[in-house]
Amino acid sequence: MTTYTKPLPAISSLNRPYWEALKRHELKLQRCTECGKVWYPPAPFCPACWSDAVTWQRLSGRGRVNSWVVFHQAYFPSFQDDLPYNVAEVELEEGPRLLTNLVGVDLAEIRIGMPVEVVFEDVTPEITLAKFRPVEQHSR
């Protein structure tokens, strides 16, 4: 396994279930059992109704590209070989928006509203990242 040199997330007691689910290749976020809202990033209370009746729910992994940018400059040296690369905001079917990278797509083909689905990238033995690819690719 090649050494992963990019920045890694800081795991806390609050976000640990998110990262542990990704490691099992499942996308899970917190859901309020009072009002049904799903949100990200993790919080101890529902941001809609302040209930602490919070559960972790497995999501569909489907969403749409809400916005994206293409980086032509490496702000971390470890991203140099990826240039140019995209950073996208994906709005999940369940509502929350995740900052992520789109994979398996030409930069010129990225569109707002493009349907995408989660893919799991194991970057270290501890950390798996959620990335997204166009849904169309799935049926090839």
- Contact set with Zn ion (CB under 5 A): 32, 34-35, 37, 46, 48-49, 51
**CB of 51 vs Zn ion, minimal distance in Å:** 5
**CB of 93 vs Zn ion, minimal distance in Å:** 18
Give residues with Cβ within 8 angstroms of 46, minimum separation 6: 32, 34, 35, 37, 39, 52, 53, 54
Kindly tell me which of 47 and 84 has the beta carbon lying closer to Zn ion. 47
**CB of 34 vs Zn ion, minimal distance in Å:** 5
**What order do you get walking across the sheet with 54-58 strand by strand?**
38-39, 28-32, 54-58
Kindly tell me which of 28 and 131 has the beta carbon lying closer to Zn ion. 28
Give residues with Cβ within 8 angstroms of 3, minimum separation 6: none
C-alpha 105: how far from chain center: 16
Distance CA 97, CA 120 (A): 17
Kindly tell me which of 55 and 124 has the beta carbon lying closer to Zn ion. 55
Kindly tell me which of 34 and 91 has the beta carbon lying closer to Zn ion. 34
**CB of 62 vs Zn ion, minimal distance in Å:** 22
